[in-house]
Structure 1
Amino acid sequence: MNWVSLTRGKRSGFWDGLSIVAGCALMALSFRLFMNGNDIVAGGVVGLSTLLERRLGWEPAWVQWGINLPLLALGFWVLGRAAGARSALGSLVLPLLMLVTRTVPTLTHNPLLAALFGGVVYGAGLGLVLSGSGSVGGYSLLARLVTKRLHLLVSNAIFTLDALTILGGGWLFGAEKAMYGLVAAFVMRRALDAVLLGFSHTKLAFVISTAHDAIRQAVITELDRGLTILPGTGGYTGDPRPVLLIALGQAEVPRLRTLVRTHDPDAFIVLTDAAEVLGKGFHREA
């Protein structure tokens, strides 16, 4: 490894670490400003710590450390050093910041507002942690350990653990609070996806037409977009049917429809969302 690649790796590691710490800070603030004071349990070890605080009076940060530290040790042993190291920073820093922010007052006592804003802030924080190649341990690490021994999907294991935690919130705080927990979990997921995937309005169009050459020329000259020609075969006729793959902005979709219909009213168009499109000449305001 030369000096340049070593320096680049250190720089990348620094920004990853900063992203993880910043994400943990947002998650801790969400917990204190919105979730904990309103008894909203949206799953995860953080939600479990709320249940144990209300039931037994235990400080949430200590509960999270008490769960995460043994899981980290098992993670290093069962999953290997690399997997354990990725979970270490977030698993240790998040409870620390929960402890540091324990005197922060609840911002609102409206449970719906708390679920919405708490979900957004918490999801954004978790997105920063994951974008820094980190983890906050908890159920995600426990699920990986469980599925290492059992033939289960990690996503199914996490869903089951989260569902049990939310049901525990409903049993302790009432069904209405469990519903707010579900709202928070949904908003959290949307915010997480927004941070990881962005707010792209990019579309992918698949165009199948006998006039594919004329449409190709029109897309290039009139729509000013590039495209890719994929080989295809008609399922009924067995004839060659080239498929035009076009990445375009949402505002350009009506123009594409008009353009295609002009050359072939019977053309087959499939439109789908694209989380992100990168490449020379594409990224611009649509």
Structure 2
Amino acid sequence: MNEKVAEFLGSKREFARTITATIIGDFICAFAMTYFFQQKGFLSGGVGGIGLLLKFLYDIPTGITVFVLNVPLVILGYFLINKKFTTYAMVSAFVLSGALLFFDQFNNPFLLDDSFLVAVIGGAINGIGMGMLFKNGSSQGGLDIVAAIFKQRFNVNIGNALFGMNMVIVSMGCIAFSLDRGLYTVIAMYVGYNLLDRIQMGLGERKQVMIISSQYEEIKRQIIQKVNRGVTFLDGSGGYKHTNYKVIYTVVGRRQLAQVKEIVAHADGNAFMAVTDAYEVRGKGFNTSEL
């Protein structure tokens, strides 16, 4: 792509990835809003929540409301924030509106009696859709644009801005309908945003391991040979005895962790080992199916 087009769409590879994720992500979100949130009168975050609120009050199709509300916000974002972000937000708003209108043509095949179950399942599905959007540089437009403007102009954290605006929408729902519906909406949002974060950062399939042992050379050798993972030595010092030692640091796949534990146990039964989830791991060897 030439520079002018790339300013709005990015590279060809980025365009293909983002457009694909936008279409799939928006259809997933629309599915959750239409078949789960609407059946119990729950709201969602952002402009979609306002669209659902107007749907319940005045029976205005959610897809139309979402599109109409997004138009001025996209125009505002075009002049105030990143052009690429705004372009994909505009595309996403159009796709989401079309998906909402599409699903609205069919009877709901997922009717459930339990409101809590509807909130959890609907929130999870919506979170998966939002996670796909944000992970690939897109969004649902709407209040995401407003939050980005607040971040750029007033240095307000995007998460805090979205939380504040969504709480206003939930409060409107509580006033218009009932406290129960508002609280179920909060549950759906909590599940959705937590799943969104997990998708953005990864699902903890990779583990970072720190090992303190006098047998660090043997442990290093076996991890490299048997697990086929790189190892880094960090210089450490005991806080009590002030003894200097080597700290072994490595990142492995979830299925490889058992091998590392076995290696450490055989090399040094008194070794100290700490394991935590590792997110957004990049580099050689971390894009293969073996992880």
Q: TM-score range by the shorter chain?
A: 0.7 to 0.9
Q: Distance in 2 between matches of 1:199 and 1:254?
A: 18
What is the Cα deviation at residue 285 of structure 1?
4.4
Q: For the Cα contact (< 8 Å) 1:32–1:105, is it kept in 2?
A: no
Kept in 2, the 8 Å contact 1:126–1:192? The answer is yes
1:161 aligns with 2:165: yes
Alpha-carbon separation, structure 1, partners of 2:191 and 2:262: 36
- Give the CA deviation at 1:45: 1.5
Contact conserved, 1:33 with 1:104, CA < 8 A, in 2? no
Q: Does 1:78 align with 2:55?
A: no
Candidates 200, 224, 227, aligned match of 1:224: 227
Find 2:180's aligned residue among 157, 162, 176.
176
Q: Is the 8 A contact 1:32 1:104 kept in 2?
A: no
- Cα distance in 1 for partners of 2:290, 2:230 equals 18
Moved over 6 A (4+): none
Q: Which runs of 5+ in 2 are unaligned?
A: none
Structure 1's unaligned 5+ residue stretches are none
Shift of 1:141: 0.8
Aligned to 2:236: 233
Q: Mark the CA change 1:258 to 1:46 in structure 2 (over 3 Å): closer, same or farther.
A: same
> Does residue 150 of structure 2 align to residue 146 of structure 1?
yes
Q: Give the conservation status (yes or no) of the 8 Å contact 1:41–1:50.
A: yes
Deviations 1:222-242 (A, max 9, x none): x43323223323153555432
| TM-score normalised by the chain length of structure 1 | 0.83
Q: Using the TM superposition, give the Cα deviation of residue 205 of structure 1 relative to its aligned residue in structure 2, in angstroms.
A: 0.5
Whether the 8 Å contact between 2:124 and 2:195 is mirrored in structure 1 is yes
Q: Distance in 1 between matches of 2:155 and 2:139?
A: 23
* Alignment correspondent of 1:123: 127
Cα distance, 1:9–1:82 mapped onto 2, change above 3 Å: closer
1:69 correspondence with 2:71? yes
Aligned residue for 2:237, secondary structure, equals: coil
Identity %: 23
Task: String of CA shifts for 1:157-193, please: whole Å, max 9, x gaps.
Answer: 1111122222332333322222322222233234434
TM-score (norm 2): 0.82
* Matching residue of 1:20: 22
Q: Distance in 2 between matches of 1:186 and 1:66?
A: 27
Count of aligned residue pairs for this structure pair: 281
